[in-house]
Amino acid sequence: MDFDLSDDQKMLVKTVSDFGKKESTVERFRKLRDDAEGIGWDRATWKKMGELGWLSIPFPEEAGGLGGSFVDAALILEQLGKTLVPEPYLASVVLGGHALWLGGSAEQHEQLLQPMMEGDTTLALAYAEPGIRFDPRCCATTAKREGDGWRLEGEKAFVQNGHAADHLVIAAMSDEGMQLFVVDGADVKRRTTKHIDGHRGAHVDLAGVVVPESRRLVARPATEVLERVLDFGAAATVAEGLGVAFSMLWMTVEYLKTREQFDVKIGTFQALQHRAVEMFVEVELLKSINVESMIRASEEGPERPAAISAAKLQLAQGGQLVSRQAIQLHGGVGVTDEHDVGLYFKRMHALVTLCGDEAAHVARYAES
């Protein structure tokens, strides 16, 4: 057993952390969020992330990546979470990118994954549908063979980065089982949706979209790809959520040390101290299970889903204890949009919900 980061990983963490502190503070997220004309993030920053290798690091060299692992992506996400960096790392690198990597051919990697890794395009994975909870084994969107291609019917909802993505990976059910297709963002009807955490996404209407056979992902069965990608996604929400929880904890501790009432610092009150300690304990448990979930995310076999579901439960229970108590301990100011703590609170909710919420992961673990 060894939980030390390699020298390269330590360097990576430092670089991403510095980027967050110096170039992408919460203030930047807030500005991008409030720009009604924009997409909620910045293409030049995305390009820079590509140049730094952040977008290609988890992919193997034969797919055009830097040959790192998912652990590297998780380390990046943890740091991005600390200052709420809005670029679509989770949606594009982890969800869309991993679906293309696992499901795609060498040619598809070159055409669709490569430009994303370089920061020229972004991806999205469209799995959720209006009104139903998604299961990698079935969905309502259909795909029927038509000529040399496939005709899609159905709608996808709350597609993370779906509003801005150059390419969307679509899950659809055919007579032959679940299929994955890649469509161009410009070829589908999409309406930008505003999300609770200040991020944006899309409601996608696929009615009548015809996709050529060359845009079907066939390297592995689609259900297997989806199961693995959603596990990568779930592990990614935990890693980013750890960064979010970490910031909320220390922001709150700092507040307890400075805020005065009844002529004393409120951090002297034992009732509040113990509340802060409960937050700390949950962050430590989240840190622990994040280690297991990010390592096992690349494994096959039963320990992967077990570890990732356990991590997702800790995010839902522990992460949200942190985010709720952080608001409570900040008092009224925590309920204003001006204070940063509430922005973290909202991102925590989104991360808990994405790629399987508490109920879904507990049920999966219980049935295994």
Partner 1 sequence: MDLSFSAEDEAFRTEVRTWIADNMPPHLAAKAEAAGHFEMPEIMEWHRLLYSKGWVAPHWPKEFGGPGLSATQRFILSEEQELAGAPPLSPFGLVMVAPLIMRFGTDEQKQRFLPKILSGEEVWCQGYSEPGAGSDLASLRTSAVLDGDHFVLNGQKTWTTYAQYADWIFCLVRTSAEGKKQQGISFLLIDMKTPGVEVKPMQTLGHTPAFCDTFFENARVPKENLLGPLNGGWSLAKALLGHERTLVAAVGQTRRTLRLARRIAEHQRGADGKPLIEAPHWREKLARLEMRLRAHQMTNYRALVEQQKGHHPGPESSILKLVGSILVQEADELCMELMGEASLSWHDEGAVAPFEQWVGPAFCYDRATTIYAGSNEIQKNIIAKLILGLPSS
Q: In this complex, which beta carbon is closest to partner 1, that of residue 187 or of residue 284?
A: 284
Smallest distance from partner 1 to CB 292, Å: 5
For residue 198 the two structure tokens come to 């200040």
Tokens (6 digits) for 115: 């430009």
Can you give the binding site for partner 1, defined by CB under 8 A?
A: 1-5, 71, 253, 256-257, 264-265, 267-270, 273-274, 276-278, 280-281, 284-289, 291-292, 295-296, 306-307, 309-311, 313-314, 317-318, 362-363, 365-367
Given a contact cutoff of 8 angstroms between Cβ atoms, the answer to whether 328 and 279 are in contact is no
> Residues near 44 by Cβ (< 8 Å), separated by ≥ 6?
none
Three-state DSSP state, 25:
coil
CB of 276 to partner 1, least distance (A): 6
CA 167 vs. chain centroid, Å, equals 17
List the structure tokens of 52.
């730094």
Question: In the bound complex, what is the minimum distance in angstroms from residue 365's beta carbon to partner 1?
Answer: 5
> Between residues 215 and 296, which has the closer beta carbon with respect to partner 1?
296
Kindly tell me which of 2 and 62 has the beta carbon lying closer to partner 1. Answer: 2
CB 196 within 8 A of CB 203: no
CB of 303 to partner 1, least distance (A): 9
Measured from the CB of residue 304, what is the shortest distance to partner 1 in angstroms? 11
Q: How far is C-alpha 41 from the chain's CA centre?
A: 15
Comparing CB distances to partner 1, the nearer of 36 and 366 is 366
CB of 18 to partner 1, least distance (A): 22
What lies within 8 Å, CB to CB, of 51 at 6+ separation is 118, 119
Q: Are 55 and 118 in contact (CB under 8 A)?
A: yes
Least spacing, CB of residue 149 vs partner 1, in Å: 42
Residue 258, token pair as written in the block = 């400075």
User: Which CB sits closer to partner 1, 152 or 313?
Assistant: 313
CB atoms inside a 10 Å sphere around CB 280: 15
Q: Which residue in the block uniquely carries the two structure tokens 């952040």?
A: 54
Q: Which is nearer to partner 1, 44 or 264 (CB)?
A: 264
Nearer to partner 1 among residue 196 and residue 363 (C-beta): 363
Q: How open is the CA angle 350-278-272, to the nearest 5 degrees?
A: 105
